[in-house]
Amino acid sequence: MEIIHPFGGKTRSFTTEFAGRELTIETGKLAFLADGAVTVRYGDTVILATAVAAPEPKPDQDFFPLLIDYEERMYAAGKISGSRFIKREGRPSEKAILTARLIDRPIRPLFPKGYRNDVQVVVTTLSIDNEHDPDILGMIAASSALMLTGAPFQGPVAGIRIGQVEGKLIANPSAEEQEKSDLNLTVAGTRDAIMMVEAGANEVSEDTMIDALQMALDTWQPVIDLQEKMVKELAVKPQKFEVFKADDELAAKIEKFLEGKLGADVRHSDGLKREDVLKDLRALVIEEFGPLPAEMEDAKERHPLGAVKTAFTKVIDTEIRRAILEDGERPDKRKTTEVRPISGQTSVLPRTHGSAIFTRGTTQALAIATLAPISYAQLIDTMEEDTSKRYMHHYNFPPYSTGEARPLRSTGRREIGHGALAERALEPMLPAVEEFPYAIRVVSEILSSNGSTSMAAVCGSTLSLMDAGVPLKRPVAGIAMGLMIDHKNPQNYIILSDIQGAEDFAGDMDFKVAGTSEGITALQMDIKVTGIIIEVMRAALAQAKEGRAHIMGKVLEILPEARAELSPYAPRIHKLMINPEKIKEVIGKGGETIQKITGETGTQIDIEDSGLIMIYSDDAHAAERAKNWIESIVVEPEIGKVYDAKVVRIMDFGAFVEFMPGREGLVHISQLADERVEKVTDIIREGEEIRVKLLEKDDRGRFNLSKKAAHD
C-alpha cells in the first residue's frame, strides 16, 4: 500500500546514473512536517535527510546558526551494539562526528553572509550495504533537503570519493577497492567549483591529486542536474529572508577615524606587538563610537557594542586584504611564500616514551608518543565498522592557547577533526605491525595558537614518534595555505604559504597539505567563498610542496632520524613464531597456562591467530624466561631424553609428573627403582623434583617415563 500524504502531496522519485550506478532521490514519503525531506538510495544504502529553516532570524547573534547532525543507527547494518550494558545509540562516534563535519563544510559557505535564521539538517542512515559510503550520500541528501526548503542556499552540492588502485583513479570505489587504494579522497562542490576536500594518501603526487579532483568535478555533474530537476519540477518557492551585515555606514566612519593609524601599525613582524596595536585601536574605536552609560551625555553618535566590534573587524579585515592584494604585504611583512621561523626540541619530558616541542611563529605544539602492547589497540564498534585501530592521534586545544579564559568541556568536533587529519597524515608512514608490533598513541597539546595548529601537530608528532624510536618509513611535515581573492576581479588572487590567524580570518581558503619528500599523505581544504576552481588548487599544491620541503628541512635539523633505542620506560618486546595448532597448548585449559606464565614472569603476552607471539616487558630477564617457557610448551618431547620433572600426583600404580611446562606423563611404579617397589610413596613424594627419561608416546598420545632409566 502506498503511503498516504496527510497534506495531499505525492511521493516523487528522481533517478540518475552516478559513477556507473543508479542513484535515486525520493521525497514526499517521509517526515511530512520538515521543510525539506528526502531519502537517497545508492545500492542498498539508504539515507534520510531532513532540513528545517526557521522563518525568523536571530538578529542578536553574530554567526550563522547552522546545525548539521549525522545519526548512525546500528539497525542500518543489521547489528546490535556489542556493549553488554548499553544497546541504545548514544554519543556520536568519532566517525559520525567526522561525517557531520564533512557535510557541514561544503554547505555552510553557500548561505549568504549575515544570514541569521536557525537551520538544522539531520542526516540519518537507515540502511547500509558496506559498499556504498553513507557519508557521500549524506552530503547529497543534505543538499537535496536544503534545496526543498526554499532557504537562500546557493546549492546544489554533490560529493564523491576517489580512490587509486594500481595507478588507476576510481570514482566511488567499493569497500574491497578501498582496502587496496593508495588514495582516499573525499570531495564536495557545486557545478563549477570545489567547496571541500578531505584526503588520506600513501605518498600520492600533486599531479595525481589534481587529476582526482578533476575526475570528482566531472563525475558528480549528473547529481547536480538531478537536484536542479527536482527543485524545478516541485516548484519550490524561495523563502523571504533578511541579511545582517556589518553596518557599512558605521564601518566607513571607523575607517575614516583610523586614517593614519593603520598601515605600518597593523603590519609588524612581531605578532604580539601587532596584537597589542590592534587591541589599542579597538579600544579607541569603542571609546569613540560605542555606547555610554545612561547617565552620561555625549554629542557623538553612539552604536551598540556588538555593532562597533563587527564594523571594526570588517575594517581591519578589509585592510589586511587590501595590503596583500595591492601592496603584496602580509600582516607580519612576510613574502607570500615565506614560512614563519621554526624551532623545536625533542626528549623534553623525562618519563614519556617520546616527546617533542614544535614551534612555528607563535603557534606551538607539544607532542607526546606512547607505546603499548598491540592488545591496547582501540576497538571500534560502530554501525559501519567492527575492527581495531593500532595508531591513535588525539589533539587538544585548551583555551589558554588563544589567550582566552573559558570552561574546559569535552572534546569538540574541531579537535576530533584536527586529530583525525594528523592521524591520516602519519598513518601510512608507520612501520608494519610485523616489524614494530606496538599500539601507538600520540597526543598533541596545542600550547599556543596563531594559525595552522593541525599542521604543527603533524610536525610535532613526527618528531615525538622518531624520539620514541618508531622507525617511520619517512618523516612527515605539513603546511597550511591561504588564499586572497579580489572579489571585484576573481582572476586576481594571491596564495599565501603558512597562514596565521589574521590571514585565516580575513582570507578565502584554509588549505592544509601534509606529506613526505615522496608525496602527499593528507589534505584538507575549507573555503569561505562559493567555490575554488581547479587552476587555483593546482597553484596552491605546487606552492605548498615548496613550503612543505622547507618545513621538512627544519624538522630534520631538530632530529635527523629515529632514535636507535626505545626509551628505557617503553615496554620491550620479544617475538616468537609457533605452529598455530600449538596456540591452544600455550593458552591452556581456560587460559590456565598463559595466566601462569604472565603471573610468574610479570610479562604481558599477545597471541595472533597466525602463531605470532609477542612478549612485552620492561625486564629483559623476565621476557626471556617467558619466551623459554613458551618454547618448552610448543617443542615436541624427545624420546630417550632425560628431563627434570616435578611430581604432581601420586597414584597406587605410579606417579604423574610434569616433565615440560604443561606436559605431564606417567612414571609407572615399576619404573621408579631397579628393585621392586611396594608403595609409591616409599620412593617419591608429591611436589618432589626428580629426573626422568621419556620412554615412549603411546598411540593415545600419553607419555610414559622412567625414573630408574634416567640414571642408566
> What cell was used for 576?
616468537
- pLDDT computed for residue 263 by the predictor: 59
Q: Whose grid coordinates read 557521500?
A: 136
pLDDT confidence bin for 552, thresholds 50/70/90: very high
Q: What CATH number has the domain bearing residue 394?
A: 3.30.230.70
Identify the domain containing residue 265 by its residue range. 248-327
Pair 244, 114: CB distance under 8 Å: yes
pLDDT confidence bin for 228, thresholds 50/70/90: very high
How many helices (H) and strands (E) in the chain? Answer: 15, 29
Domain boundary among 558, 581, 598: 558
Task: At 601, give phi and psi (nearest 5°).
Answer: -100, -15
pLDDT confidence bin for 7, thresholds 50/70/90: low
> What cell was used for 618?
620492561
Residues 6+ apart with CB under 8 A from 553: none
- pLDDT computed for residue 91 by the predictor: 86
Euclidean distance between CA atoms 422 and 418, whole angstroms: 6
Residues 6+ apart with CB under 8 A from 499: 451, 452, 480, 481, 482, 507, 510
Of 130-139, 371-380, 539-548, minimum mean pLDDT range: 371-380
> What cell was used for 365?
605544539
Average pLDDT, the chain: 89
Q: Is residue 2 one of the residues assigned to a domain?
A: no
pLDDT of 77 above 80: yes
- pLDDT computed for residue 266 by the predictor: 64
Of 298-312, 338-352, 387-401, minimum mean pLDDT range: 298-312
Q: Is residue 629 one of the residues assigned to a domain?
A: yes
Q: Are residues 204 and 296 in the same domain?
A: no
pLDDT digits (tens, 9 = 90+) for 605-655: 998 888 888 899 888 788 888 998 888 888 888 899 999 999 999 999 999
- pLDDT computed for residue 271 by the predictor: 61
Q: Are residues 625 and 646 in the same domain?
A: no
The CA–CA distances, whole Å, from 397 to 157, 331, 388, 421 equal: 31, 24, 26, 14
CA-atom Rg of the chain in angstroms: 33
Q: Is residue 523 one of the residues assigned to a domain?
A: yes
Q: Are residues 151 and 40 in the same domain?
A: yes
pLDDT of 103 above 90: yes
Beta-strand runs (E) in 608-688: 612-617, 642-651, 654-660, 663-668
Q: Are residues 51 and 98 in the same domain?
A: yes
> Between these two residues, 561 and 308, which has the higher pLDDT value?
561
Q: Are residues 280 and 348 in the same domain?
A: no
Domain boundary among 634, 654, 671: 634
> What cell was used for 429?
608512514
Q: Is residue 226 one of the residues assigned to a domain?
A: yes
Q: Are residues 126 and 106 in the same domain?
A: yes
pLDDT of 231 above 80: yes
> Between these two residues, 33 and 330, which has the higher pLDDT value?
33
Of 74-83, 421-430, 673-682, minimum mean pLDDT range: 74-83
pLDDT of 277 above 90: no
pLDDT of 310 above 90: no
Domain count, the chain: 5
Residue 104 one-letter amino acid: D
Q: What is the DSSP string of 504-522?
A: HHHSSEEEEEEE-SS-EEE
Share of the chain above pLDDT 70, in %: 96
Q: Are residues 128 and 218 in the same domain?
A: yes
| pTM of full prediction above 0.85 | no
Q: Are residues 163 and 221 in the same domain?
A: yes
pLDDT confidence bin for 475, thresholds 50/70/90: very high
Q: Is residue 125 one of the residues assigned to a domain?
A: yes
Q: Are residues 52 and 158 in the same domain?
A: yes
Residue 270 one-letter amino acid: D
Domain boundary among 175, 200, 233: 233
With residues binned 3-state (H G I as helix, E B as strand, rest as coil), the percentages for the chain, rounded to 5, are 35, 30, 35
Pair 578, 605: CB distance under 8 Å: no
Q: Are residues 289 and 310 in the same domain?
A: yes
Q: Whose grid coordinates read 597414584?
A: 651
Q: Are residues 501 and 534 in the same domain?
A: yes
Pair 468, 371: CB distance under 8 Å: yes
Q: Are residues 119 and 73 in the same domain?
A: yes
Pair 446, 396: CB distance under 8 Å: yes
Q: Is residue 4 one of the residues assigned to a domain?
A: no
- pLDDT computed for residue 268 by the predictor: 60
Pairing of strands 438-448, 477-485: unpaired
Q: Is residue 600 one of the residues assigned to a domain?
A: yes
Q: Is residue 332 one of the residues assigned to a domain?
A: no
> What cell was used for 210?
589534481
Q: What CATH number has the domain bearing residue 695?
A: 2.40.50.140
> What cell was used for 586?
600455550
Q: What CATH number has the domain bearing residue 600?
A: 3.30.1370.10
